[in-house]
Chain A
Amino acid sequence: MTSTLIIQAILAGVTNGLTYALVGIGVAAIFKGTRVINVMQGEFSVAGAIITVILLNQIHLPYWLAIACGALSGAAIGALIDILFVRYMMAHGANQQSFILLTIGIAITMSASVLFFVGRSGYMLPAFGGDNVFIVFNAVIRTHAVWLIGIALGITLGLRLFYHHTTIGLAMMATSIDADGAATTGINVNRMRTLTFALGGLLGAIAGILATPLISVDYTLGVTLTLKGFAAAILGGLTNPLGAAVGGVTLGLVEALSIVSISSGYKDVISYGILIAIMIFMPNGMLGRVGRRGG
């Protein structure tokens, strides 16, 4: 293993890791706001990416507009899931099991829809900055990866500001901590939950759109992204966007270094093994905040 190879692995790890982080931030945002773990977060990414691809290639929208529509469609799907199902189930006192099954059902439906409408092939989007690369200590990183890293970090910090310094963000937090209390102060609890799901969908779609120039998107990608995003969120303690970012990068690095040192076939075995171990042995994540329930 040369040092160039290690640096190359680290760069790849950080890039993939921040993709997982974006998915994980979405999982964390929805859990923070509704106490529901969204088992279909990765499907938001696939949907956002596929819609962007279609708008760009079939309808020939300008790239920036296609991206905006793709990202917003993620938010719309998120809001619809809340309005159509979650609201009804919350009102009927559904248990956690039902929400797990609901989101699994939505995941199956969305992945099957992608398979049915666009087929088995993988799709890619053009990279920001084309094929240009930066050279870092003899290792290569694509301009798009640098964009991805920058945007992911920006979103992480932006969310932190959103939750602590905006009225809507504070209202979302209040709703998740004490729904009845929030309602008495005049917060529309249902709307906050819809907005939370929309935010989760938006983050998921952005993750998918940013990742698609680097990895090809097909109907099977959703489950992978969900699990890796969930691992990132768990590592970060689940309710903390900053934590999910740290968790995602950690996971990405472990994965990249295990590819270099062991074998690419065992990549998933290692990263999912770590996920299970973390859930069992570090229930509050690496940053050690209390706040997770149910394990």
Chain B
Amino acid sequence: MAGRIAPYVVLLIVWTVLPFILPRNITDLLVFAGIYAIAGFGVSLLLGHCGIVNLAQAVFYGVGAYATAYLTTELGYPSIAGVLVGAVISVVIALFIGWPILRLTSYFLALATLALSIIGNALFYEWDWLTQGTLGIGGIPKLNIGSFALDTPMRFYYLAWTVAILCLVLARNLTNSRTGLMLRAMRDAPDAAVSLGVNLQWLRTRVFMLSALFGSIAGSLFAHYSSFVSVQSFNVDKSFSFLLIAVLGGARAPWGAIIGALFITILPEYLSRLGDFHQILFGVALICIVVFLPTGLAGGLEMLWDRLLRLGPKPKLKQAAHAE
């Protein structure tokens, strides 16, 4: 038991200490990694459990961000109102859009979500009474918990990652639940699932709604953290980034999105003197993962971990158990 808990305790300690020892700009990147991981979870759930390539996550990310920006600056509502309104709008949009388009499969669904992403961005651009278009909305207030203002990267780090871990636990519970079993059945043997009375379309729509919820929460956090939002933050490239997070990390492991998010936020920092070179690297990384490591970086690490354990004391333990 202690052996199973130990790695988590170590991770928790490392996680708590990190912002104290890292320079401020890296902590800042880690905040973004946490926010992106939340949005990435949604894409990852759809990809890993429903086989759906979702390229529309930037739309829900944008809805969350604009809900927060508009309600807190124009209407002066408290932060929580922005988060909730964004979440409700996103989930409702996901229901009404998801229901018809989720009857499509594979390529057609992927391109439909790509089209949605472009439509969403065009609407953000056109509805400048709401979004201020390319000028953007500035002066979004910092998030407060009670009288405690989350106004430094370090303080926001704890919030963003706590929310991310909560989402991870939620996603994990979901995949281990009855619904998770239905999801697995749907992914691996859809015909059998239908014959056992699983309503595939409703199931996919629900996961799509959950994915949208994650996207929207991430968007609200982003708006509060950066205190400025504009259309450029919610374009198709952002949707590609969220997909990249899910694929790089490995969509079947729940914590894959965290690895993916760390990869795409930290790496550009070290390649910044090469201009936009990191984008090429992201594309190449995506190709390599898809071709050579379909379980993603998380899957690769798990494989490596298993192999290390097998080389280590594990086999002896097994033999001892047999001897008894």
List chain A positions with a Cβ less than 8 A from chain B.
37, 39, 85, 88-89, 94-98, 100-102, 104-113, 115-116, 223-224, 227, 230, 234, 265-266, 268-269, 272-273, 275-276, 279-280, 294-295
| B126 and A295 within 8 A (CB) | no
Q: Is B119 an interface residue (CB 8 A)?
A: yes
| A112 and B282 within 8 A (CB) | yes
| B122 and A116 within 8 A (CB) | no
| B283 and A106 within 8 A (CB) | yes
* Among B141-149, B271-279, B310-318, the stretch in contact with A: B271-279
| A112 and B279 within 8 A (CB) | yes
User: How far, in Å, is A193 (CB) from chain B's closest CB?
Assistant: 16
Q: List 24 A-B contacts (CB under 8 A).
A: A37-B108, A39-B111, A95-B51, A96-B106, A98-B290, A100-B106, A101-B247, A101-B290, A102-B287, A105-B286, A105-B290, A108-B240, A108-B286, A109-B283, A116-B280, A227-B114, A265-B125, A269-B119, A269-B122, A276-B112, A279-B108, A279-B112, A294-B105, A295-B104
Can you add 12 more A-B contacts, CB < 8 Å, to A37-B107, A88-B291, A116-B280? A39-B107, A39-B114, A102-B290, A105-B283, A105-B284, A105-B287, A111-B279, A116-B275, A223-B114, A294-B105, A294-B106, A295-B105
Interface residues on B, range: 35 or more
User: How far, in Å, is B97 (CB) from chain A's closest CB?
Assistant: 9
In the complex, which residues 100-117 of chain B have their Cβ closer than 8 Å to any Cβ of chain A?
Answer: 100-101, 103-112, 114-116
Tell me the bound Cα distance from A101 to B246 in angstroms: 11
Known contacts A85-B287, A101-B290, A106-B287; A112/B280 CB under 8 A: yes
Q: Is B243 an interface residue (CB 8 A)?
A: yes
Contact with A along B125-169 (1 / 0, CB 8 A): 110000000000000000000000000000000000000000000
Tell me the bound Cα distance from A223 to B291 in angstroms: 22
| B119 and A295 within 8 A (CB) | no
| B107 and A108 within 8 A (CB) | no
Known contacts A39-B107, A104-B240; A112/B276 CB under 8 A: yes
Chain A residue nearest to B283 in the complex (CB): A109
Q: Is the interface of B mostly helix, strand, loop or mixed?
A: helix
Ranked 3 nearest A-B pairs via Cβ: A109-B283, A112-B279, A105-B286
Known contacts A102-B290, A106-B287, A295-B105; A113/B110 CB under 8 A: no
| Contact residue among A101, A106, A107 (Cβ-Cβ distance under 8 Å from B53) | A101
A residues within 8 A CB of B51? 95, 97
B residues within 8 A CB of A37? 107-108, 111
Q: Is B193 an interface residue (CB 8 A)?
A: no
Known contacts A101-B53, A265-B122; A279/B104 CB under 8 A: yes
Tell me the bound Cα distance from A294 to B287 in angstroms: 23
Tell me the bound Cα distance from A111 to B235 in angstroms: 15
B residues within 8 A CB of A110? 283
| B111 and A108 within 8 A (CB) | no
List chain B positions with a Cβ less than 8 A from chain A.
47, 51, 53, 55, 100-101, 103-112, 114-116, 118-119, 122-123, 125-126, 236, 240, 243-244, 247, 275-277, 279-280, 282-284, 286-287, 290-291, 294
Q: Is the interface of A mostly helix, strand, loop or mixed?
A: helix
User: How far, in Å, is A263 (CB) from chain B's closest CB?
Assistant: 8
Known contacts A39-B111, A279-B112; A89/B279 CB under 8 A: no
| Contact residue among B119, B277, B286 (Cβ-Cβ distance under 8 Å from A268) | B119
Chain A residue nearest to B55 in the complex (CB): A104
User: How far, in Å, is B219 (CB) from chain A's closest CB?
Assistant: 21
Tell me the bound Cα distance from A225 to B53 in angstroms: 20
Chain B residue nearest to A94 in the complex (CB): B294
Tell me the bound Cα distance from A85 to B287 in angstroms: 9
Chain A residue nearest to B52 in the complex (CB): A97
Known contacts A116-B275, A295-B105; A39/B110 CB under 8 A: yes
| B286 and A294 within 8 A (CB) | no
Known contacts A109-B284, A116-B279, A223-B114; A280/B290 CB under 8 A: no
B residues within 8 A CB of A234? 108
| Contact residue among A85, A101, A227 (Cβ-Cβ distance under 8 Å from B118) | A227
Chain B residue nearest to A271 in the complex (CB): B115
| A104 and B108 within 8 A (CB) | no
Chain B residue nearest to A263 in the complex (CB): B126
